[in-house]
Amino acid sequence: MNPLTATAVGKRYRSRWAVRDCSFTIPEGKVVALVGPNGAGKSTLLGMAAGIVRPTTGGLSAFGTPTAGRTHPDVSYLGQNRSLYHDLTVRELTRAVGSMNDRWSTDRVHEVLGLLTGVDHDAKVGTLSAGTRTQVAIAMALGRLPRLLLLDEPLSDLDPLARDETLRIIMTEVADRGTTVVMSSHLLTDLREVCDHILLVDEGRVQVDGDIEEVLARHRILVGPAADESSVEGTLVSATRTARQSTLLLREAAPTPKGWEGTEPDLESLVMGYLRASRERRR
């Protein structure tokens, strides 16, 4: 059973669609980079996957069960607001969250916290830095022993060292337990380290969905003379142009024409190309 399947799912807030007609399947054991510009619908999608946001149309299912209205027992979700009890100490929080979950491992929480630098178990959660709070929240999410972990911008308020620690914890979780992870972030270099699947959304719709290596191999960056774009074949995603030179991101490009230089994009240039296209469309 796939950890997550979306079938024509949509969410409308008043007259505006935040997510529209999204269909995709996340295969088991994948680490998925959920990327897209601000306001693309990433948090809304994750909220629906966690059963916290109710879809307007279509639906999502986790391990074959519709997610609307409740979080599947095999799913852990870390929202952007982190939702922790600030008046409890880390130790008390671990006990409190444990008492709310049927399946729970305090040992797993301690194991994760033990890998992090300087988390004081007797400190009140509200006194921790935002970055440490995020790490504590990830430890709580892992304490539920999830088979699917949904993380909404888990790296956003972490310094480089804390980001590295957190990515290692996620990688260890995937390697040891085969957990499927869907993680939204704008930090593409960090995502590239851990993710093997990309889901790129823009204006609420899925633009790119697939294994990162395969997706990159389906795209080309061509650099060549601005006056000679007619010789280029393929689906143009976006372009940057100067008076003399064009840089094009293409999908399903034909062989590189004479006078042009063709390379496979890296994740950053691929996503940048799609974001640029999105900005152009909005203009």
Ligand X SMILES: Nc1ncnc2c1ncn2[C@@H]1O[C@H](COP(=O)(O)OP(=O)(O)OP(=O)(O)O)[C@@H](O)[C@H]1O
Please give the residue ranges that form the binding site for ligand X (CB under 6 A): 13, 18, 36, 38-44
AA identity, residue 188: L
In whole angstroms, how close is the CB of 122 to ligand X at the nearest point? 33
Q: Which is nearer to ligand X, 13 or 85 (CB)?
A: 13
Note whether 41 and 9 are within 8 A (CB): no
Task: Report the run of H or E that residue 198 belongs to, with start and end.
Answer: strand 197-202
In whole angstroms, how close is the CB of 42 to ligand X at the nearest point? 3
In whole angstroms, how close is the CB of 112 to ligand X at the nearest point? 25
- Collapse the DSSP code of 46 into the 3-class scheme (helix H, G, I; strand E, B; otherwise coil) and give the result: helix
Burial of 68 (0-12, 13-18, 19+ CB in 10 A): middle
139: its two tokens: 């430890």
In whole angstroms, how close is the CB of 201 to ligand X at the nearest point? 7
Q: Which is nearer to ligand X, 40 or 93 (CB)?
A: 40
Report the DSSP beta bridge partners of residue 197: 32, 211
Q: Which is nearer to ligand X, 3 or 41 (CB)?
A: 41
In whole angstroms, how close is the CB of 13 to ligand X at the nearest point? 3
Q: Which is nearer to ligand X, 18 or 112 (CB)?
A: 18
Alpha carbon of 126 to those of 84, 87, 132, 148, 155: distances in Å?
9, 6, 10, 27, 19
Neighbouring CB atoms inside 10 A of 123's CB total: 15
Q: Which is nearer to ligand X, 9 or 112 (CB)?
A: 9
Distance CA 126, CA 122 (A): 12
In whole angstroms, how close is the CB of 185 to ligand X at the nearest point? 9
Q: Which is nearer to ligand X, 177 or 205 (CB)?
A: 205
